[in-house]
Amino acid sequence: MTLRDVSEASGVSEMTVSRVLRNRGEVSPATREKVLLAARALGYVPNKIAGALASQRVNLVGVIIPSLSNMVFPEVMTGISEGLDGTGLQPVVGVTNYRPEQEEKVLYEMLSWRPSGVIIAGLEHTDATRAMLEHADIPTVEIMDVDGTPVDSAVGISHRRAGLEMAQTILAAGYRRIGFLGTMMPYDHRARKRLEGFVEGLAKGGIKLADEEFYSGGSALLKGREMTEAILTRNPDLDFLYYSNDMIGAGGLLYCLEKGIDVPGKLGLAGFNGVELLEGLPRHLATMDACRLDIGQAAAAIIAAKGARRGEVVELSPKLEPGDTIRR
């Protein structure tokens, strides 16, 4: 299917068809509608590669995230999709599974298509990935985190500050024997930074972290139950557990309720992200909203500005939700 086919079907010149489909140049509304109806009826799809040979860019935005199974990133993608709607730009997603070398490969492939922009999770990359981003000469937005130096623009929250605020809230509620449980450590740099902020917050209150439980795999309810059992078996006198994310925190809460542990009287719990899953639990797990939708929308807005907002850093403020698992 070619421009000539659409031209013959609509009764206008190939040049006019090209203007309509590229949304460039002056074309009357009636002619535009005629061309679009003909193209739709014929099932015509423009050759973006051919267009890129002239413009050196395609109307794609590379979006690189660590996981699709993590409940955080689908909402970020929703924000990006909403933010790009009506701009003519389309997101294309690549997944790294928290592996720096995979991120490098995904970025290489995406840049080979000459996208109009890149949105990539995190500020930590290999030297090769950073070099590719620096020399791509397109708007780049690193999302989810602002604790560091971005290549170009960044949109996210301060995870160190989030951890610090959670520690202050826990100490203010009277908890003193505190454990931390995390997954994907140390590959999840944002969870690592929250832990660093959390430890700093405890230290300001004269408290040291009593115990830690780590797991290198992904987040799951079952894993949260297993980790909670392990850390409480080692240290039954812990009075608070802080989880790196809501999924394992939810598993920990279900374990405690099953075992008849008094939550939040004897043992307090908190997670991170503010995912919708928490609304279906017997009790509302304390958490902190990671501003996922807002991050996606703000990143898309920077990309849609097509270079007019280069170097911008947008820091959002997460809201702590004490739920039912922190003493009031």
Q: What is the DSSP string of 55-124?
A: HS--SEEEEEES-SSSTHHHHHHHHHHHHHTTTT-EEEEEE-TT-HHHHHHHHHHHHHT--SEEEEE-S-
My answer on whether 166 and 269 are in the same domain is: yes
Band (pLDDT 50/70/90 cuts) for residue 52 is low
Looking at the structure, tell me whether residues 182 and 268 fall in a common domain. Answer: yes
Residue 119 falls inside a structural domain:
yes
CATH number, domain at 33?
1.10.260.40
Percentage of the chain modeled with pLDDT above 90: 79
Residue 230 and residue 184 share a domain: yes
Q: Is residue 234 part of a domain?
A: yes
| DSSP 3-state percent helix, strand, coil across the chain (nearest 5) | 45, 15, 40
Q: Do 128 and 235 fall within a single domain? A: no
HSE of 71 in the Cβ direction (CA atoms, 13 Å)? Answer: 17
CATH of residue 225's domain is 3.40.50.2300
Peptide bond between residue 186 and the one before it cis (omega within 30 degrees of 0): yes
* 132 lies in some domain: yes
- How far is Cα 84 from Cα 86, in angstroms, rounded to an integer? 6
Judge if 188 and 115 occupy the same domain: no
**Per-residue pLDDT, 218:** 67
Residue 327 forms part of a structural domain: no
Bridge partner residues of 181 (DSSP): 213, 243
CA distances from 219 to 94, 96, 198, 271 (A): 20, 16, 20, 12
Q: Are residues 153 and 172 in the same domain?
A: no
Report the interhelical angle of 159-172 vs 189-204 (nearest 10°). Answer: 40
Q: In terms of domains, do 142 and 165 share one?
A: no
167 versus 111: which is more confidently predicted?
167
Q: Are residues 181 and 197 in the same domain?
A: yes
Q: pLDDT digits over 293-306, tens only?
A: 999 999 999 999 99
Q: Are residues 84 and 60 in the same domain?
A: yes
Residue 45 banded pLDDT, cuts 50, 70, 90:
confident
Query: What total number of domains does the chain contain?
Result: 3
Identity of the amino acid at 88: G
Mean pLDDT of 2-9: 91
Contact 214, 188 (CB under 8 A): no
* Domain membership flag for residue 326: no
Q: What is the pLDDT of residues 176-186, one digit of tens each?
A: 999 999 987 77
Are 9 and 65 contained in the same domain? no
Domain that holds residue 109: 55-158+292-319
User: What pLDDT sits at residue 2?
Assistant: 85
The residue-averaged pLDDT of 61-71 equals: 90
In a domain, 324, yes or no: no
Residues 120 and 209 in one domain: no
Both 60 and 153 in one domain: the answer is yes
pLDDT at 48: 63
- Neighbouring C-beta atoms of residue 126, cutoff 10 Å: 13
In a domain, 239, yes or no: yes
Does residue 71 fall inside a structural domain? yes
Higher pLDDT, 276 or 90: 90
